[in-house]
Chain A
């Protein structure tokens, strides 16, 4: 039992949350102002033609039927056809998804690595200039609205010092050869991912520093020092390791925020991804497209929360036992 029952419980919660989110998602798009018909119907159509189109899209069904159809098709990944492009939403999302995942992963790994290591070094160098510099810069970047920093970078690298690409995921036309394409993609990633890392590392560094300082005051750190362990070992193996559970939780708890951040980042840097697709679809009252993107993002958030629970159970031995036999 133990870890397994803990996992099953988390999995059950995840399914419940998904159901609730999908229901909200359905209601939300139907109470938004504006009428989708105007997006797809020519005003010159005859009322009969209008009715026929409404029937084709299922817009004349009662709300409950629409809801059941909606649920059924989402579960089978049949996301319908976009009102504006008349293409299948799922195939449109599928080609954008890898771009979003790449941007997200690079941002995530970069932010966590930079933030946590700077946090550890700040805790180790408490009161010194380097700590104040890291904390000051991190808090500043965190406090300024993210789009503002990104727009400044856009201005800097797009206009004054145009050495980095500010637009898209790959050059048009793409260079020849897989390796050249890979490099070209990485080159396009620098600004969007880099700006995200700059914006995000501060809260990581601050949180890591604070929990580290608390850990460094614990008795077991005195034990580790008394044992004659080297400083590095004490910092990483004993302090950081013992505060990893709350840090990991915070990492995964920040994922939903990272997803909404992706909408902004992708829009500013014209990144061909799911976030930008969601924004465009919403602005165009494109129900199926927006709902599809929303569905995907909700799934991503729920899965990352599930991952958080698993990771938490793995890094903190007390959770493994606490969730199992003893309770």
Chain B
């Protein structure tokens, strides 16, 4: 059984001009010890997904159906108090973009971790401090810096501290929301390496949210490609990257230059992400899709399996896409 099972999850934002369908019928699973990547353009609902899983919706967000099941327990109907005590941080924790503002500027970095431990576990303060020192060591921060404030840390160190914080209560699942986005490439590589090592050592499951497909290729087992709040394609990383079945996924994969292949021009996807207040009819990708026909404009494609191994796609033309050939140059 999967550790976390998300089924038909719908989370909308209420605005003055109607509902924004930020997460619309999204389904996926995360196996124990595996890593799932969630990729897509800005505004496709990636971060909304993360906040929906931890039930951290902004005041104008609400669930409109679906379920999130962890170890057979439904998380969305659990009482707020129980969810706060038993799930948040204890079972599901989160790695935020630490270089930004994820640490409170007026509290010592170490104390912010101790606080999380003390709230969830029945341990003494000394034990919590000791564990925080160990966590600092684990992520490569000198434990002597326990008493420093966030502004005394560099961007990369803040990110490490945020990772240490996510590990504080030995969670089963870590949601990493753009953990390396604000860092320079060298630090990015170090951080990704430590995340991968820690995952192996602690047998952690992870959900990695990023717009950077290469990061997912490097760290994840499976991938969900989201487009306009919906799952466009979902499957094993190798399957999706080598035989993309959705034109959008193919476009994304093509838009990364391959340093080992012959020099070709990097392709960008034409057009813009749609307005989620009034998404296009039928397939939401059809206005930007080179293969779109009448069917795509009228009928919303169901998520179906292509080529086995749970490689799922929501596209009427998946077979044409998978035949290969450069659909984007037509």
Contact = CB atoms under 8 A, between A and B. Distances in A.
B206 to A, nearest CB: 15
How large, as a class, is the contact surface on chain B? 20 to 34
Nearest to A316: B106
Nearest to A229: B119
B149 A219 contact: no
A223 interface: yes
A318 B151 contact: yes
A223 B103 contact: yes
A174 interface: no
A223 B177 CA distance: 12
- Which of A220, A223, A318 has the most chain B CB within a 10 Å cutoff? A223
- Which of A218, A219, A230, A242 has the most chain B CB within a 10 Å cutoff? A219
B90 interface: yes
B56 A226 contact: yes
Interface in B103-133: 103-107, 115-116, 119-120
B58 to A, nearest CB: 9
B89 interface: yes
Interface string A203-222: 00000000000000011101
B248 interface: no
Contact of A227 (B101, B105, B106, B115): B115
- Which of A220, A226, A245 has the most chain B CB within a 10 Å cutoff? A226
A230 B85 CA distance: 9
Contacts of B93: 226-227
- Which of A228, A238, A315, A316 has the most chain B CB within a 10 Å cutoff? A228
Contacts of A317: 105-106, 149, 151
A4 interface: no
Contacts of B120: 228
A222 B51 CA distance: 9
B178 to A, nearest CB: 12
A222 B152 contact: no
A228 B166 CA distance: 12
Nearest to B117: A227
A321 B150 CA distance: 12
Nearest to B51: A222
- Which of A227, A245, A318 has the most chain B CB within a 10 Å cutoff? A227
B107 A219 contact: no
Nearest to A223: B102
Given A220-B102, A317-B106, A318-B105, A227 B119 contact: yes
A17 to B, nearest CB: 29
Contacts of A10: none
Contact of A226 (B94, B103, B151): B94
Interface in B155-205: 165
A121 to B, nearest CB: 17
B89 A222 contact: no
B136 interface: no
A321 B149 CA distance: 10
B243 interface: no
Interface string B138-149: 000000000001
A242 B96 contact: no
A226 B104 contact: no
Given A238-B104, A241-B107, A219 B96 contact: yes
A94 interface: no
A220 B88 contact: no
B149 to A, nearest CB: 5
B101 A219 contact: yes
A248 to B, nearest CB: 12
A226 B175 CA distance: 11
B76 interface: no
Given A227-B115, A230-B84, A317-B151, A220 B104 contact: yes
Contact of B104 (A225, A242, A245): A242
Given A223-B96, A318-B149, A321-B151, A228 B104 contact: no
A299 interface: no
B253 interface: no
A226 B84 contact: no
A228 B118 CA distance: 11
A223 B149 contact: no
Nearest to A126: B59
A306 interface: no
Contacts of A228: 84-85, 87-90, 116, 119-120
A90 B89 CA distance: 63
Interface string B70-95: 00000000000000110111100110
Interface of B: 51, 54, 56, 84-85, 87-90, 93-94, 96-97, 100-107, 115-116, 119-120, 149, 151-152, 165
Given A219-B97, A225-B88, A242-B104, 14 more contacts: A220-B103, A222-B102, A223-B94, A223-B104, A227-B88, A227-B115, A227-B116, A228-B85, A228-B87, A228-B119, A242-B106, A245-B106, A321-B151, A321-B152
Top-9 shortest CB links A-B? A228-B88, A219-B101, A220-B104, A227-B116, A317-B149, A228-B89, A228-B84, A242-B106, A227-B89
